[in-house]
């Protein structure tokens, strides 16, 4: 299946697109290569959105990392999300593997990158239109996540897929929150960094 065909199918029927992607049975090496390419694309789009700065701001008002560091963080997040989807699905009787989950998550990140590109292209035309497009993209990506989760674990009801996706995202959020706290990037640090950035901007 061509990339354009898969993209068109994802827009119309994400569950079927997930099934088609899994049917390709991509080798792990191919999936890893795709993940690296998608991470590089996301870094380029993020850096372009921040004025091609030599350092990329991970979250507004927090810390910055090099583009290579941002790509590494994004790749790690994709790997963690894939593992979380597999573990959460197993709790609810799913059958998906890590390799399959990673293929779907990488495709989801590619879709997210395309949505950010579309939003950036709309921004010079209308800020409001770009904002609405971004909001619509969020809901569409969440819909795709649930649909892909159902395809991954061969769930016959959307409710189980939604529960798995919610459990995975919640668990991943707790793990990342704990990791940020250990690293000293808690709410206080974020507020301090944001205040410092505002002060520097005014100066």
Residues in the chain: 203
E strand spans, the chain: 56-57, 64-65
Asked if residue 74 lies in contact with residue 112, where contact means CB atoms within 8 angstroms, the answer is: no
Q: How far is CA 183 from the centre of its chain?
A: 22
Q: CA–CA separation, 134 vs 138, rounded Å?
A: 6
Query: Using 50, 70 and 90 to split pLDDT, how confident is the model at 4?
Result: confident
Q: What percent of the chain has pLDDT over 70?
A: 77
73-99 pLDDT per residue, tens: 889 999 999 999 999 999 888 889 999
Query: Using 50, 70 and 90 to split pLDDT, how confident is the model at 202?
Result: very low
Q: Where are the domains of the chain?
A: 3-202
Task: Round the average pLDDT of the chain to a whole number and report it.
Answer: 82
Asked if residue 103 lies in contact with residue 21, where contact means CB atoms within 8 angstroms, the answer is: yes
Least confident of 39-53, 82-96, 138-152, 179-193: 179-193
Write the burial class of residue 153 (CB in 10 Å: 0-12 exposed, 13-18 middle, 19+ buried).
buried
Q: How many CB atoms lie within 10 A of CB 90?
A: 13
132-173 pLDDT per residue, tens: 988 999 999 999 999 999 999 999 889 999 999 999 989 888
Q: CA–CA separation, 46 vs 41, rounded Å?
A: 9
């Amino acid at each position: 299946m061509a990339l354009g065909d898969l993209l068109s199918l994802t827009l119309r029927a994400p569950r079927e697109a997930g099934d088609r992607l899994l049917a390709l049975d991509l080798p792990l090496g191919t999936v890893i290569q795709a993940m690296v390419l998608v991470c590089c694309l996301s870094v380029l789009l993020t850096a372009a959105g921040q004025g091609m700065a030599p350092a990329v701001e991970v979250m507004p008002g927090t810390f910055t990392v090099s583009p290579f560091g941002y790509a590494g963080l994004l790749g790690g997040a994709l790997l963690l999300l894939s593992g979380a989807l597999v573990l959460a699905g197993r709790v609810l009787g799913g059958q998906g593997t890590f390799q399959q989950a990673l293929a779907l998550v990488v495709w989801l990140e590619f879709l997210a990158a395309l949505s950010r590109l579309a939003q950036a292209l709309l921004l010079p035309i209308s800020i409001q239109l770009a904002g609405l497009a971004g909001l619509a993209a969020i809901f569409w990506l969440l819909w795709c996540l649930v649909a892909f989760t159902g395809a991954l674990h061969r769930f016959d009801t959307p409710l189980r897929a939604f529960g798995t996706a919610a459990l995975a995202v919640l668990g991943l959020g707790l793990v990342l929150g704990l990791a940020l706290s250990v690293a000293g990037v808690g709410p206080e640090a974020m507020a301090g960094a944001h205040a410092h950035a505002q002060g520097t901007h005014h100066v």
